[in-house]
Amino acid sequence: MLPTRRVLVTGVSGPLGARVAARLAADPSVEHVIGLDSRRPPAPLAERITYVEADLRRSDLQQILKVAAPHVVVHQDIVQFPEPGRSARALHDLNVIGTLQLLAACDHLPQLQAVVVRGSAAIYGSAPDAPAFFTESLARRGVLTTRFQRDVAELERLIEAFARRHPAVVCCVLRMQPIIGRGLTSPIMKLFAAPVVPTFLGFDPRLQFLLDEDAIGALAAAVDRPVRGAVNVAGDGTVSLARSLRRLGKRALPIAGPLYAPTVSALARAGLVPALQDDVIRYLRHGRGVDTTRMKRELRFVPTHTTAEAIDAVASAIKDDNKVVA
């Protein structure tokens, strides 16, 4: 356990950022939390959190971090799945260039003890010949199929290079499965909120999710006792796409493979489903499971919700929101 005093959290104005910062600020071993973001938080932050407006790509980032003098940096201003409306270049700038600039600024923090990164299990991709559960060592053995997958891998290489330069700093990357929860606007959550969910005819992949409160818990656990390297993070078990949709009370729209992309594009133009990027489409076709042994044994974190329970929690939230609208 680190004698944590000051923690800097990037992306504090995002859907999870303020909650991560509040969780850390409530920890008596944390002296203060500095929340960094280029956008002002939509609501006042909790006590013992100082907001600093800054873009990770700014030239004065080094000076900002020098003044903040954090002992732990939590980098969670990272997109986990490509989102419509953001170009591949924009995603690269945020995930890769932003991380590069942040780590360059961290080079000049002699008091730094740990860097914790909210990474993505998207590094493993989704493929028909994939193992049932990816262990952390399998990330480099597969083919990096999509640009987003390559960006996630490049981000991790930057973290590894920083760790080699600073062996005294514990660098931990949490490879999280898709995070679901009320109030999130991720591609998966937008799809779950749609009237129908387009599926691939003849495919029923196994899916694995992480409830938002457990994602926050995993980050807090990594700040408290970080481990070196990558750690898979997900709720226990997998649930097939068909069962997931039944739990959510959603209707599936099976589409033959060659017709899937044009049909989804037409549905998106009609406003019936969100636009889907290649990585999300692959996930809906082939699914993905990750082995969480290291999460439990070394990080000593166990999510409060299994994958099935996370889906049920989202289903309950969707029903409550529909009642409010009605």
Dihedral-angle region of residue 175 (phi above 0 means left; psi in -120 to 50 means alpha; beta otherwise): beta
Q: Which fold has domain 6-181+209-237+289-307?
A: Rossmann fold (3.40.50)
The total of other beta-carbon atoms located within 10 Å of residue 113's CB is: 18
For 130, list phi and psi in degrees, rounded to 5: -70, 155
Q: How many residues does the chain have?
A: 326
- Specify the 3-state DSSP secondary structure of 251: strand
Torsion of CA 222, 225, 226, 232, to 10 degrees: -50
Per-residue pLDDT of the chain (326 residues; tens, 9 = 90+): 666 689 999 999 988 999 999 999 999 999 999 999 999 998 889 889 999 999 898 878 999 999 999 999 999 998 887 777 778 888 898 899 999 999 999 999 999 999 999 999 999 999 999 999 999 999 977 778 899 999 999 999 999 999 999 999 999 999 999 999 988 888 899 999 899 999 999 999 999 999 999 999 999 999 999 999 999 999 999 999 999 999 999 999 999 999 999 999 999 999 999 999 899 999 999 999 999 999 999 999 999 999 999 999 999 987 776 654 33
Where do the structural domains in the chain lie, given as residue ranges? 6-181+209-237+289-307
The closest alpha carbon to 198, from 283, 273, 287, belongs to 273
Task: Find the distance separating the first CA and the last CA of the chain, reported in whole Å.
Answer: 48
